């Protein structure tokens, strides 16, 4: 379709995997099956339960085969996502409840599956952690598979993609995303639903494929064959762009490819400003599969290893041995480079093996992260023992999430030392003492950073939470998401205070939130004096290029001028104008 034939449509979503792509739209229409609703006679109840069991067994076999395929092509970590779906098929919360509805309400299995899935999805709405909130879609994938099998419909249909396709969908299952990404024909992904931690985002980042998620009604507004240009860094999608817009996108792609090529050539060179200020660029990971692209793009270590994925959709928490093997695998794969592992950051209402879910009135400020771990000591100790044992195998650092005050830090460190003593007495090999830091992601921690710096070995700023807590907005709420402003003067002052406190105490200060990998903020973070920035693999080349071509003194003058402005909009406009002038015009 010609770019002049149809008016250009601009869509805004969430930049989930950085990079720019241009291609023709391939609409993946995975329409949800229309669920029949039938009342059963008493004689039909037992046959209906048998029909349900048959559908569950078939679904289990299908997922087992899918897991093998994805493990071979994508690695065992992505296979774990499929394994989590298999576990759902056997979860009593799902299976027993479906059978209860069949028996007591005398409704057909399809209807019962949908009712139970809806109930389970509502439970996820109360989870403060974004990663686990995104797992609502997993319930939908599993329910849809079972219903399709009950109705004898095709499941896991092969998709034949044209070259350079931009796949557009309402949502994508882990299997869809992984199988299409490995085909080598996908230029980019655009989905209506999803966030930074959705499966599409995780797989796309691991494959360095540009992706925009959470784009509203994109699958309805984009037609098959439309020319689509997407920016996976800024979350921008242009449908049937003008020739001038297309030229700018192609120029951005060319510059990105050049910068990536330079970065790969210079991947072992430091991210150092022209006047000698050195920043270590490291990576955020959820799965060990993401290590290879990180190293290929010049990451000097791992700045945030999220450990929550091991606790996903299980009847019971992972054992100490399971956790030890996972941490050891990552440490050994990094070959002596530093690896910062964050202890469990979960909401208290998403607990492996817990069958009773009580809705918290304000879960984002409830029992979560370090609070939850200190309230569930044995779960915490299992993880700490596994980490201590794994520390033998590499250069490990540990950090505690959502620290709000000194007492929490002291209590958490006390648990760590108790576990160290326990393992030592038992003769279990553990590594030398490693650095123990904290995530600074609450206003309270930012305000007492000077005190916390006396007892933490390092700081890592989690900007995602720090910004939303500072500005009192839920960035997942579309009604107020527009207020999420990383360059709000209050945020800049908080960051300045945190860095100053760390420097004053002589400890390193890092950033591992989304702000760290956004090129727009690179000069601001250089000016502030961060020692380390942690991001996804695809963001490293651009950020490194900006730092290597910049002067820190110039960046500090830029920041001083910006902080003389008042509104977030004024500051952002000023910074973007300056960055565009330095980097060239963006589409």
Task: Confirm whether 199 is a catalytic residue.
Answer: yes
Catalytic one of 373, 404, 419, 512: 512
Of 68-82, 362-376, 416-430, 534-548, highest mean pLDDT: 416-430
* Statement: the pTM of the whole predicted model exceeds 0.75: no
Whether the predicted pLDDT of 543 surpasses 70: yes
Question: pLDDT band for position 406 (50/70/90)?
Answer: very high
Note the pLDDT of residue 314.
65
Question: pLDDT band for position 538 (50/70/90)?
Answer: confident
Task: Confirm whether 512 is a catalytic residue.
Answer: yes
pLDDT digits (tens, 9 = 90+) for 82-134: 777 888 888 888 899 999 999 999 999 999 999 998 888 777 666 655 556 66
> In terms of pLDDT, which residue wins out, 226 or 92?
226
Question: pLDDT band for position 333 (50/70/90)?
Answer: very high
Q: For the chain, give the mean pLDDT.
A: 86
Distance of CA 304 to the CA centre of its chain: 11
Mean pLDDT confidence for 295-323: 86
Mean pLDDT confidence for 282-310: 88
Note the pLDDT of residue 273.
96
Note the pLDDT of residue 115.
93
Whether the predicted pLDDT of 350 surpasses 50: no
> In terms of pLDDT, which residue wins out, 468 or 257?
468
Nearest to 67 by CA among 77, 56, 55: 77
Supply the DSSP string of 15-62, one letter for each residue.
Answer: EEE-SEEEEEEEEE--PPPPPP--BPPGGGHHHHHHHHHHHHHHHHHH
pLDDT digits (tens, 9 = 90+) for 49-96: 999 999 999 999 988 888 887 777 666 656 667 777 888 888 888 899
Whether the predicted pLDDT of 329 surpasses 60: yes
Question: pLDDT band for position 353 (50/70/90)?
Answer: very low
Question: pLDDT band for position 233 (50/70/90)?
Answer: confident
Residues 6 or more apart whose CB falls under 8 angstroms from that of 145 comprise 59, 62, 63, 85, 155
Query: In 10 A of CB 38, how many CB atoms?
Result: 12
Q: How many angstroms separate the CA atoms of 358 and 340, rounded?
A: 33
Note the pLDDT of residue 302.
97
Note the pLDDT of residue 349.
45
Question: pLDDT band for position 359 (50/70/90)?
Answer: low
Question: pLDDT band for position 522 (50/70/90)?
Answer: very high
Q: How many angstroms separate the CA atoms of 404 and 207, rounded?
A: 36
Catalytic one of 78, 199, 256, 297: 199
Whether the predicted pLDDT of 165 surpasses 60: yes
Mean pLDDT confidence for 500-516: 95
pLDDT digits (tens, 9 = 90+) for 6-33: 678 999 998 888 788 999 999 987 666 7
Q: How many angstroms separate the CA atoms of 555 and 261, rounded?
A: 25
pLDDT digits (tens, 9 = 90+) for 564-587: 999 999 999 999 898 877 765 444
Residues 6 or more apart whose CB falls under 8 angstroms from that of 573 comprise none
Whether the predicted pLDDT of 148 surpasses 80: yes
Q: How many angstroms separate the CA atoms of 75 and 432, rounded?
A: 31
Provide the residue count of the chain.
Answer: 587
Query: In 10 A of CB 504, how many CB atoms?
Result: 12
Mean pLDDT confidence for 445-469: 95
Note the pLDDT of residue 316.
80
Nearest to 439 by CA among 574, 323, 345, 315: 345
> In terms of pLDDT, which residue wins out, 423 or 254?
423
Q: Of the given ranges (221-225, 243-247, 290-294, 385-389), which has the lowest mean pLDDT?
A: 290-294
Nearest to 305 by CA among 329, 284, 324, 276: 284
pLDDT digits (tens, 9 = 90+) for 383-392: 999 999 999 9
């Amino acid at each position: 379709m010609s770019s002049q034939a149809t008016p250009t449509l601009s869509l805004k979503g969430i930049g989930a995997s950085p990079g720019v792509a241009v291609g023709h739209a391939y609409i993946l229409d995975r329409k949800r099956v229309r669920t029949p609703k039938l009342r059963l006679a008493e004689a039909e109840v037992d046959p209906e339960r048998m029909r349900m069991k048959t559908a569950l067994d078939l679904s289990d076999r299908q997922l087992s085969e899918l897991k093998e395929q994805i493990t071979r092509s994508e690695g065992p970590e992505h296979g774990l996502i499929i394994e989590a779906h298999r576990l759902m098929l056997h979860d009593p919360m799902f299976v027993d409840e479906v059978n209860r509805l069949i028996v007591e309400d005398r409704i057909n299995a399809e209807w019962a599956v949908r009712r139970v899935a809806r109930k389970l999805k509502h439970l996820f709405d109360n989870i403060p952690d974004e990663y686990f909130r995104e797992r609502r879609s997993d319930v939908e994938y599993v329910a849809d598979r079972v219903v399709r099998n009950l109705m004898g419909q095709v499941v896991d249909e092969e998709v034949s993609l044209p070259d350079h396709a931009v796949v557009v969908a309402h949502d994508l299952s882990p299997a869809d995303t992984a199988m299409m990404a490995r085909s080598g024909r996908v230029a980019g992904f655009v989905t209506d639903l999803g966030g930074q931690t959705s499966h599409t985002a995780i797989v796309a980042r691991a494959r360095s494929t540009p992706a925009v998620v959470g784009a509203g009604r994109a699958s309805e507004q984009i037609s098959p064959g439309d020319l689509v240009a997407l920016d996976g860094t800024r979350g921008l999608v242009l449908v049937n762009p003008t020739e001038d817009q297309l030229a700018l996108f192609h120029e951005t792609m060319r510059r990105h490819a050049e910068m990536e090529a330079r970065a790969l050539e210079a991947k072992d060179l430091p991210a150092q400003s022209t006047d000698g200020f050195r920043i270590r660029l490291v990576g955020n990971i959820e799965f060990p599969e993401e290590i290879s692209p990180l190293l290929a793009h010049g990451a000097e270590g791992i700045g945030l290893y999220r450990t929550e994925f091991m606790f996903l959709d299980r009847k019971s928490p992972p054992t100490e041995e399971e956790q030890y093997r996972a941490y050891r695998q990552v440490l050994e794969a990094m070959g002596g480079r530093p690896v910062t592992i964050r202890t469990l950051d979960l909401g208290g209402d998403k607990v492996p093996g817990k069958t009773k879910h009580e809705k918290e009135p304000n879960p984002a400020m409830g029992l979560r992260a370090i609070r939850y771990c200190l309230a569930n000591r044995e779960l915490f100790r299992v993880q700490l023992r596994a980490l201590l044992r794994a520390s033998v195998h590499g250069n490990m650092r540990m950090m505690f999430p959502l620290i709000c005050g000194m007492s929490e830090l002291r209590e958490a460190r006390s648990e760590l030392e108790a576990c160290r003593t326990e393992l030592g007495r038992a003769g279990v090999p553990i590594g030398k003492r490693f650095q123990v830091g904290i995530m600074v992601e609450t206003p309270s921690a930012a305000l007492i950073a000077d005190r916390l710096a006396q007892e933490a070995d390092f700081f890592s700023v989690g900007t995602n939470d720090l910004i939303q807590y500072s500005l009192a907005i839920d960035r997942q709420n579309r009604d107020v998401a527009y207020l999420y402003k990383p360059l709000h003067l209050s945020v800049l002052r908080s960051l300045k205070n945190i860095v100053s406190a760390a420097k004053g105490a002589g400890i390193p200060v890092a950033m591992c939130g989304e702000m760290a990998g956004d090129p727009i903020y690179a000069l601001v973070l250089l000016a502030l004096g961060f020692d380390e920035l942690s991001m996804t693999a695809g963001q490293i080349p651009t950020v490194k290029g900006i730092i290597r071509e910049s002067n820190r003194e110039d960046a500090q003058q830029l920041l001083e001028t910006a902080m003389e402005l008042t509104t977030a909009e004024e500051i952002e406009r000023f910074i973007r104008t300056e960055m565009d002038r330095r980097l060239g015009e963006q589409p």
